[in-house]
């Protein structure tokens, strides 16, 4: 009887201690949209895998919706969608426009909120500013770019 209990306890301990790991794959489709899956078979053949790692929330910001936040993703999206004409730094090389004053409030000299920056980027992407052409961009991409820009300052 005691051996049976010990064997059952040992079996339960073994099952509890088994490593359980779910992989989350983040990929960019051909049109630049960002997607997440836990099954590699769901990733289209023409997609670019950006990250394959442990599941769950990484660097989740309290009070904001969760998700995998990654400065590299924001930087690569910024380069792909905005980098042809814009830089995130204060000083822009000839032929480029600095986004520094979009990120930093001219009144407070502090970074604007993420929502304000997303709103400004959305207007810019629609072609509302000067002679800029409109840019196709999703809300998720706008969020990642805004987070990258805010983290870079």
Structural contact between residues 82 and 92, judged by C-beta atoms closer than 8 angstroms: no
Question: Residue 115: what pLDDT?
Answer: 92
- Verify that 81 and 125 share a domain, yes or no: yes
Q: What is the mean pLDDT of residues 58-83?
A: 64
Query: 80 with 153, same domain?
Result: yes
12-40 per-position pLDDT tens digit = 665 555 555 556 777 878 777 777 777 77
Rounded to whole angstroms, how far apart are CA atoms 18 and 13?
9
If asked whether residues 52 and 101 sit together in one domain, one would say no
Do residues 90 and 130 both lie within one domain? yes
Q: Which of 1-15, 26-40, 135-149 has the lowest mean pLDDT?
A: 1-15
Tokens read off for 60: 């989740």
Residues 27 and 80 in one domain: no
């Amino acid at each position: 009887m005691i051996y049976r209990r010990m064997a059952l306890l040992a079996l339960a301990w073994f099952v509890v201690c088994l490593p359980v790991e779910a992989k989350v794959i983040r990929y960019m489709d051909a049109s630049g949209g960002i997607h997440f899956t836990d099954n590699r078979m769901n990733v289209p053949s023409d997609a670019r895998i950006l990250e394959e790692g442990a599941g769950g929330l990484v660097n989740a910001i309290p009070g904001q919706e969760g998700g995998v936040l990654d400065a590299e993703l924001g930087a690569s999206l910024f380069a792909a969608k905005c980098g042809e004409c814009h830089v995130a730094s204060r000083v822009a090389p000839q032929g480029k426009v600095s986004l520094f004053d979009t990120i930093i409030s001219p009144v407070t000299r502090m970074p604007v909120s993420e929502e304000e920056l997303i709103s400004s980027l959305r207007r810019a992407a629609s072609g509302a500013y000067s002679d800029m052409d409109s840019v196709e961009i999703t809300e998720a991409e706008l969020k990642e770019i805004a987070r990258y820009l805010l983290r870079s300052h």
